[in-house]
Amino acid sequence: MLVLVFRAVILAPETPRSGGAYTEGLVGEIAPLNPLFATETSTVSDVNALLFEPLVRVLPSGQVEPVLAARWDISPDLRSYTFALRADARWSDGSPVTPDDVVFTVRTVQDTQFPGAVLNASWKDIIATAIDGSHVRFALPGKNAGFMATLELLDIVPGHLLGGRSIAELAAQAQTLNPVGTGPFRLTKRLPDRLLLERNPFAWRKPWLDSIVLRTFSSQDAALDALDRGQIDGIANLSTGGLARVGRNHQVALYSASTYEYAELILNLRPDAPLFQDVQVRKAIAMAVDKRAVIQDTLQGQAHIEDGPIPHAITWAYDAATAPPTYDPVAAGKLLDADGWLVQSNGVRAKNGAPLAFNLTVSADLSPYERVAQKVASDLSRVGIDASVQPVSTAALIHDYLSPRTFDVVLTAFDNGPDPDVFAFWHSSQEHPGGFNFTSMKRNVFIDKYLEDGRSALDLPTRVAAYNSLQEQFAKDVPAVYLYSPIFNFAVDRRIHGLRLDSAVEPPDRFAHVNDWYVEVGR
């Protein structure tokens, strides 16, 4: 009998139990710990993902998952969204989460002094109202089926603690304030090189892990050294060099996922710049760039080819049947020949005395974009197009080139998020100063209509039809040249169990299922 009992215990599956710690290495400084005032670095976003939460989360499938919201109702005209908050939602100080906290958060990012331009613009003219002690309503200025993705980007902060302060005061306090959030963990101690987090006893999500330690390193190589020595358990956002090192560490498991980020060539289509008004030139550029070689040579294969405004990661909206121009340098040359762009003695094409030449502006301080730009320029030179790579700082790229629309071509990256709504980037109404349609393209009634249709219905089939039409129009007109979408890589010691990534993620999304991670097991 004892033998049978012992055998049953041995053969029983392991089950997680509470306890244990996870230590991750982060590259760079961590400050501030307020999601509304976080600098645009993955390190800060990573930490805030463990401390704070939004109302909802949008999955790669297009489905919406409740987080701080328990349920919601949407008006037939898609202009009113009403959310009921979770009854068990608590701040890490034990206070209940209220609609007033949500309204405070929205009004903070809407303040004219708020420093986050993208967040501020996305909440422009949206009215948040606390209906009662558990419901909050958002009134939108127009139909926007992608509003749930906007909500996902807004982590709720405690109005009962932060209210009554100016934006300047909130920004200053964000650098030192001990954060109070609703996430599965809460901060217990800041040390010069690490943050100590413990399980949040008031969180509605109940993680198995007792604690998480986030150690900062000056470089990824230093963090990888610590991983090799067993001083940390994980590291994310691996570079291609880091990926090679991790592959030699057999104690580490690698987790990978697609991302919503994509690199593209933005062409300045302003009417007074005739070069890119010629669709044959735009098509030739798209056909001349060997995207597969760009990915292999500069990213060691860690990216997917992209060919339109909807990235592959948004699987339900991406149209695989669309046929954009593909790599064919011979055909690109013939296309330019037929269009009157003839190769001159210096190897550069010209038409009516004007050379087929332009500046290709790129960020010099964000890897790997300058190397990508050099590869693109090399490919273009083979078909007689002279692209002069112009590296500048990221700040200059934004303020001196993109915002005033003073560039020829810019190589940059955008993050589309989990929703395919690219209205802000391509609708003609967004060309105004401060808008994010940087191309200066004259109004395209077809593109405008498909963008409007895509945000005017909630059912996915209707939205799919609109975005399929949008992708077909982009394949025909080639207003931009899309290059690739990077792969997210996350290395974790095999002693940490229960990890999983969604098919597509933002880097902080690796913690979306952190409540399932465990170290301790029982039978």
Q: Where in the chain do CATH 3.40.190.10 domains reside?
A: 11-52+183-251+494-523
Q: Where in the chain do CATH 3.10.105.10 domains reside?
A: 261-486
CATH of domain 261-486: 3.10.105.10
pLDDT tens, 460-496?
A: 999 999 999 999 999 999 999 999 999 999 999 999 9
Which of 25, 485, 28 lies closest to 252 in space, CA to CA? 25
Supply the pLDDT for residue 5: 44
What are the DSSP calls for 18-74, one per residue? S--EEEEEEES------TTS--S-HHHHHHHHHH---SEEE-TTS-EEESSEEEEEE
The sign of the dihedral angle between the CA atoms of 374, 375, 378, 384 is negative
Supply the pLDDT for residue 10: 46
Beta-bridge mates of residue 492 = 234, 253
When comparing pLDDT for 363 and 42, which is higher?
363
- Mean pLDDT over 96-103 rounds to 97
Say if residue 16's pLDDT is above 60.
yes
Which residues fall within 8 angstroms of residue 434, CB to CB, at 6 or more apart? 117, 121, 403
- 53-162 domain in CATH 3.20.20.70? no
Fold (topology level) of 11-52+183-251+494-523: D-Maltodextrin-Binding Protein; domain 2 (3.40.190)
CA angle at 379 for the pair 377 and 384, rounded to the nearest 5°: 85
Q: Which of 27-31, 57-61, 106-110, 301-305 has the lowest mean pLDDT?
A: 27-31
- Mean pLDDT over 90-94 rounds to 96
Which of 31, 55, 29, 26 lies closest to 171 in space, CA to CA? 31
When comparing pLDDT for 172 and 403, which is higher?
403
Q: Tokens in use for 364?
A: 């010099």
**CA separation for the pair 382, 159 (Å, rounded):** 58
Q: Where in the chain do CATH 3.90.76.10 domains reside?
A: 53-162
Task: Collect contacts of 498-502 with beta carbons under 8 A, ≥24 apart.
Answer: 498/16, 498/208, 499/253, 499/255, 500/255, 501/255, 501/256, 501/257, 502/59, 502/60, 502/257
Highest mean pLDDT among 34-48, 103-117, 129-143, 270-284: 129-143
**Type and span of the H or E element at 129:** strand 127-130
pLDDT tens, 190-212?
A: 998 999 999 999 999 999 999 99
